[in-house]
Structures are given as structure tokens and as C-alpha cells.
Amino acid sequence: MKKINKQNLLLRNQVQQAFVERDILTFAENPFVVSMFCSFQTRRHLCMVMEYVEGGDCATLLKHIGALPLELARLYFAETVLALEYLHTYGIVHRDLKPDNLLITSLGHVKLTDFGLSKMGLMSLTTNLYEGHMEKDAREFRDKQVCGTPEYIAPEVILRQGYGKPVDWWAMGIVLYEFLVGCVPFFGDTPEELFGQVISG
């Protein structure tokens, strides 16, 4: 169960984002996206009851064994791509794709989790989400905020040019590199140094 302190949400101005995460998890029905059973609130916390995925996460696996065997990297990559394609079909951009957010089931499959930074491109789950595909490029996000984990942030986000679905595919490329090599392609002692490497290629 994920418990979120209400006071912290207010202090960080993240109340709306918490409800976006809840709405995405309530809607999503995909074998490669973590499921949520219910949500409720107490006097101090917002609570989301999600399925238990007992196999740990891909970040821990990478720390233990380094680069993944090719067949395993291919499987995890393909399943994550299917999760992203599903979310993007409904105008959802994850914005924090990384091995830490790829959980491993007891059967050896992955499930995408942690939608705390995600954005929805459609205004209403109940009235618009079931309409299917968005008009091509018509509703790309124009949020200029830099958010996410530095090693996986796309150049257009660093340059504050707004973002859309491509930021998830950039992060997916970083994840695939990490699966195959055992480390991320860009390094830096500070976020600024890291971002400079990303921009310069």
C-alpha cells in the first residue's frame, strides 16, 4: 500500500498530481502496468492499495548482476514498450521511466509503476479517455518544468521546450542501454554537468 502524507502534498503543491496518479492507476488495465485495487484517505494520509509485485525491481537486479543477458533485456524492453504504447494511446506520459520503476513479477515479467510525475493529455477520464487515440500531435504537453530522474531526462525537457510522448521513448533508450551495458550512457558529478553531456550528445 502506498501512503502519501497529506501535509507534505500541500507543502509541495502536489495535491493535484497525487489525484492524477490515482486516476491513472484506477483506469489502467494492462498486464505490464501495476494494478490498483482501491484508494481511500485517512485524516493524515492518501492511501492506494496496489498489487504486490514480489520480485523486486530492475534497478536492484542491475546492481546485483550488472548487464542483463540479451534475452532477458529483450523481454523486459519489449514488455515496457507495450506498457508505454498502451499509456500513450490514452494520452498518458509517464515522465519518470527508469529501472527503479520496473517491477519484476514472480513469473519473470515486468510491470511499470510509480505514476507520481505522470501527466494526462486528456482533460477527463470519464468523458474523454475512452475516445481512443488523440489527434496527431494536437495535445502534446507544453509544461516547461524539469522533472524526473536526471540520468533519464530528455534533451527537450532540459532545454525547457516542453515535452510529449518522445520523452518516455528517450528514457526507454537509456534504460535499454543500461540493460545491455550495466550503466547509464551519461554521467556527471552534478545535474548541470550531466545535462551538458546529454545536450552535447
- Residue 114 is assigned to a structural domain of this protein: yes
**Residues 171, 159: Cα–Cα separation, whole Å:** 16
Q: Which residues pair with 78 in a beta bridge?
A: none
Predicted TM-score of the model (pTM): 0.84
Nearest of 97, 70, 84, 73 to residue 32 by alpha carbon: 84
The domain of 71 spans: 53-200
- The domain that holds 89 is classified in CATH as 1.10.510.10
The predicted-structure confidence for 23-37, as pLDDT tens digits, reads as follows 999 999 999 999 999
Dihedral sign (CA 28, 49, 98, 120): positive
Which pLDDT band, with edges at 50, 70 and 90, does 120 fall under? confident
The predicted-structure confidence for 76-86, as pLDDT tens digits, reads as follows 999 999 999 99
Percentage with pLDDT > 70 across the chain: 86
Cell numbers that stand for 125 in this block = 477520464
Q: Which positions are annotated as active-site residues? A: 96
- Residue 182 is assigned to a structural domain of this protein: yes
Number of folded domains that form the chain: 1
- Return the number of other C-beta atoms located less than 10 Å from residue 43's C-beta: 5
- Residue 28 is assigned to a structural domain of this protein: no
- Residue 10 is assigned to a structural domain of this protein: no
CB–CB of 39/22 below 8 Å? yes
Cell numbers that stand for 79 in this block = 514488455
